[in-house]
Structure 1
Amino acid sequence: MKFVDEVTIDVAAGNGGSGCASFRREKFIPFGGPDGGDGGRGGSVYAIGDRSLNTLIDFRYARRHEARNGEAGRGSDCNGAAAEDIVLRMPVGTIVRDVETDEIVAELLEPDQKVLLAKGGDGGFGNLHFKSSTNRAPRQKTPGWPGEAKTLKLELRVLADVGLLGQPNAGKSTLIAAVSNARPKIADYPFTTLYPNLGVVRVAPEKSFVMADIPGLIEGAAEGAGLGHQFLRHLQRTRVLLHLVDFAPLDEGVDPVAEAKAIVAELKKYDPELHAKPRWLVLNKVDMVPAGEREAKVKDFLKRFKWKGPVYVISGLTREGCEPLLRDLYEYVAAQKNAPIPEPDPRFDS
């Protein structure tokens, strides 16, 4: 299924039903009095977070969502029936924004969280509503109130614990396929990944975390080059970033240190707060380096890269070195579970 993370929809709540102006007419009851009922409430439009959904593809093809109008009031003291509400199921992590005002209407951060998108109009009053001791035969009634109508932009920001960051062909898709049940497309050409992939990594029974793979970044990504810049906002809610580096590039003229520095520079240029997130260095494809040369190459890389944080040497293809990485990731994520979710950054809205 294609990953759809942005879509614009129209929602319209139902109008309230009109009130009724009626008088009781029965044999032997000459002054029955008013008996016009009120109109029914129009249907509202709600959104609810659904953990079983991971894309907005359903809203790509169904962009208009209208609730029914409330029924009009009738005589014999009968009020109109209220219309049923519409509930739109959206993936957890969806941000709903009003296109006209650019205000955030809702953020679905928890499963089964229900929020109001468009309120249905209230029903109008029948003449029975205006009956009083001084107005024994009221003839006035009111129409129903109109329901709200909005144009909304839905934006899905993946709620993952760990985000993969790196150049195209750094081995991100291979790693997430090796450690989870995700099956992204893997090939020997750049930009194989065209949309984010999510994978649940199970370290032990009842111990797991979510990993997100986004398209690779290239130099100039902050200015819009490549594909990865379109999905960098998905890394905003992650707790830790894994910076994957192709430790054994096929082209001998490619310097892994220069490639790694380019990614860090683009990340800082794009958003300093994203650059300040906890970031672990992962040297991938170590199976392509002879065993006797690995230690020297790793030391030379760290010295030239001037890296002081956590570093892991792995092979996503053979799973060499993956187990310690996954255990440490789970312990770190579990320790951060109680940390508050950061507020949305308006700089990502452009």
Structure 2
Amino acid sequence: MSLVADFTLARGDFALEFAATVERGETLALVGPNGAGKSSCLQALGGLIPIDAGSVELDGRQLERGGSRQSLAPDQRRVGFVFQDLLLFPHLSVVENVAYGPRSRGLDRRSARSRATEWLERVGLSEFAERRPGELSGGQAQRVALARALACEPALLLLDEPLSAVDASARAELRRELRQHLDAFDGVRLIVAHDAIDAFALADRVAVLEGGRVVQTGTTPQICGHPRSTYVADLVGLNLFRGTASAGHLSLPGGAELVVASVPDGPTLAVLHPRAVALFRERPQGSPRNVWRSTVAAVEPAIDRLRVRFDAPVPLVAEVTHGAAQELGLGPGAALWIAVKATEISAYSG
């Protein structure tokens, strides 16, 4: 039993092409830059916007076929939706908000309230049942929205950036709780995540959307180990180089060249961790095969380190400690030597 989606849709100048199969009991996270089509994808699966071509099937049941009248309304799809802004009804109590979903599916008021009470117990909010959404914290409101979606007993659960309303201090705990609830739900789960940590912590697989198309799909090790676009490399904190390899040398589009320890000939992608980039004020001596002089374009904070960005002749990012930054005299415009060992660069066919 699974979700099988393969469709296209257009909204103004934007076109979305999406194809994926998600098994029952599996969570797929959709990540990508703003405007990539992540939320539009969820809305199409939920029946909130029509597809133009293709089809959507859930557990062998056709939900929609593009270009025809074969489309089920959202309330007929067995889909639970947690929206980015949660969309809790401010005039209803917490328990009435959760009961609204089952009632909209035809359950009588008493049974719906009983089910809502049960779900509030599951998400640890029984004592807040009679409060209004405006009296809740961001994390509590997120749990109410999740309980409302799950109380409908859906076969497909869609979550659009469910942690966006949660402050940083509560995010880690809510992430763990959400993962537990997702694991306990035996249907199909799709989640839009803006943060890489959320995506990798919550999902079994990740699909990367760029420009309305899926450019890469895989598990966390597959995505992190073999990014196939600059966005993905930035997402996982790596440098990505795309070029043509020959005899252990990788030629880059701007004319620069890298020596790589093991690389297949032909179109190639190569990744390098920023911490493997060494910076010097004077030309280094020793074994590095790749040495060049460059100018600092920008210095950005990165928790306990600094990320140093260079634009030419090889665009890349290095990570250094604050102490090393002081010794190097780091700052935009500073001229430094860069050294990278060939063995630190991982290359694969592009």
Report the TM-score when normalising by structure 2.
Answer: 0.23
> Structure 1 or 2: larger strand share?
2
Higher-Rg structure is 1
> Structure 1 or 2: larger helix share?
2
